[in-house]
Amino acid sequence: MIPNRSKLDIVHRFFSGTGFTYDRVVVICTCGLDTYWKKKIIEKIPCNSSRILDQGCGTGILTMDIARQFPGCEIVGVELRDEYLSLARQKEVSAGLKKIQFLLGRAEDVIPEGGFDCITSSYLAKYADLLALTANARKMLRPGGIMIMHDFTLPSNPVFLSLWNAYFVLLRTFGGRIWPEWRTVFHELPEFLRQSTWTSEAIAALEKNEFCDISIKPLTLGLSTIITAKRPDHQLH
């Protein structure tokens, strides 16, 4: 297990100075799968939601998609890096969306007032203190509310894993030249993902906090995974 403080340090090292190219890089370097994965996240949000929290919202890609899909819903986005949050706020203004509130802070630490019907995150789980994240999520979710976590995972198929490794060689060789601010990510992310046990940690944390209906769904041959869970109606023992 990677220590949580080290995870936070990794976030700052990976993403410092990358905000202005993030949207382009995430689409190109996932070969467009990021758009598909975010659609799968949105499909799992309860259709009657009136208040949604997007944790680790980054530049607001998922947050904006949620706002468009749920136009009458109040949405709160939380992001650790001010560089990214500034870009998210600019998008909100450009899109003319009025029901989004952006908060600066670490997802594990920010607990907005009021209950939520759904809490989402994409690419946060592998960096997070999942026990703290799920404990606070249980406090913030209304009874029956849904928590949705999505992140990269290591493909289990040996052939596809070989292709995955080869793709990162290409990213290190050519991607780092095109986007030099992403060199650290291209070089270090593969090993970070090999060490990550975020899916098993998330399930254990959800069970400890008495979430129910826990579901794990691999996407695109195991390149990423969505975990969903429901906050029960009863109080935590």
Q: What pLDDT shows up at residue 234? A: 67
Map out the domains of the chain as residue ranges. 4-230
Per residue in 71-90, pLDDT (tens digit) is 989 999 999 999 999 999 99
Q: What pLDDT shows up at residue 96? A: 85
Q: What pLDDT shows up at residue 1? A: 56
Coarse DSSP helix, strand, coil percentages of the chain, rounded to the nearest 5 percent: 50, 20, 30
Handedness of CA 209, 210, 215, 221 (dihedral sign): positive
Per residue in 10-38, pLDDT (tens digit) is 999 999 999 999 999 999 999 999 999 99
Q: What pLDDT shows up at residue 2? A: 66
Which residue ranges of the chain lie beneath pLDDT 70?
1-5, 234-237
Task: Could you please state the CATH topology (level 3) that the domain comprising 4-230 is classified under.
Answer: Rossmann fold (3.40.50)
| DSSP state, residue 67 | H
Q: Round to the nearest angstrom and report the end-to-end CA distance of the chain.
A: 27
